[in-house]
A and B are shown apart, each in its own frame.
Chain A
């Protein structure tokens, strides 16, 4: 089946930058990152069950600066995905779709995701 050529809508280079662009593409990127993280966590779990020495080597890597950065990125992706999903649930109920509100909630979830990540890591690094 050949699709007819259709006019393309103006794209990123044309539109003025907007918070909705960031939340939209980051929602998807975070989702992809989380899927990769879920597969990695499965490897870790399988190692814990069947190769405990390998589990300790892998968690040892997670304890390094690089490992911690990866984990922090994962935590942030988790919170961003959560907050954006909640925002989407409200949109599904037709709440918060006005431009002003949508812009505000966009900035709120970006800020909120960083705050929640910072809280979890403050707890992990300084209290736990």
Chain B
């Protein structure tokens, strides 16, 4: 993985010059992504249940459904797992297709920021519904 600039310090000068070889990083990213993808299997099942439950409901009934603790908690967990996984999985697209390292860094940083923001908005919305009823 070529995203982390400081990893270049671990390369020999000739490797750095040729831009080839192992980056000595990325295992952490890969393992985190795999664990999150496994966590996404129950999240997906619950998400389908949620969509099927919410289909056809008006806003009032949908809010009531979401404000039940049995639905609020899985919703909160799902949002976190989904956006964590989306941040890690989506960054690979920028790393693969944006050749300029500076622009790539900016893209990944902004993308992570967008995922964090969306995650916070979603969590705040769910909690607001849960506490207002």
Establish whether residues A82 and B19, one from each chain, have CB atoms under 8 Å apart when the complex forms.
no
Main secondary structure of the interface of B (DSSP, over half): helix
Cβ–Cβ contact B90 & A31, under 8 A: yes
Q: Is the CB of B44 within 8 A of A89?
A: no
Size of the chain A interface, CB-CB below 8 angstroms: 30
Knowing A32-B93, A78-B44, the reply to whether A89 touches B37 (Cβ < 8 A) is yes
- Bound Cα distance A30, B55 (Å): 23
Contact residues, A58-104 vs B (CB, 8 A): 78, 82, 85, 89, 92
Complex Cα distance, B93 from A31, in Å, reads 10
| Residue B98 CB within 8 A of the other chain | no
Check A120/B122 contact, CB under 8 A, given A32-B90, A38-B86, A85-B37.
Answer: no
Q: Within 8 Å CB of B25, what residues of A? A: none
Q: Of B48, B83, B93, which one neighbours A120 at CB under 8 angstroms?
A: B48
Query: B14 contacts the other chain (Cβ, under 8 Å)?
Result: no
Inter-subunit contact B18/A55 (CB<8 Å) = no
Q: Which residues of A contact B83 (CB under 8 A)?
A: 38
Distance, CA A38 to CA B122, complexed state (A): 10
- Select which of B16, B41, B128 is within 8 A of A49 by beta carbon: B128
- With A31-B90, A48-B129, A50-B128 known as contacts, the answer to whether A82 contacts B118 (CB < 8 A) is no
User: Which chain B residue has the least Cβ–Cβ distance from A85?
Assistant: B37
Q: Mark B50-75, 1 if CB is under 8 A from A, else 0.
A: 00100110111011001000000000
In the bound complex, residues from chain A placing their C-beta under 8 Å from that of B89 are: 31, 35
Q: How far is the CA of A82 from the CA of B63 in the complex (A)?
A: 29
Tell yes or no: B82 within 8 A of A by CB.
Answer: yes
B19–A3 touching, CB < 8 Å: yes
The 9 lowest CB-CB distance pairs between A and B, nearest first, are: A52-B59, A49-B125, A42-B122, A45-B125, A42-B118, A49-B128, A55-B59, A46-B125, A3-B19
Given A45-B122, A82-B41, 16 new contacts (CB under 8 A):
A1-B16, A1-B19, A1-B101, A31-B89, A34-B86, A38-B118, A39-B114, A39-B118, A42-B121, A45-B125, A49-B126, A49-B128, A50-B128, A56-B59, A85-B40, A89-B34
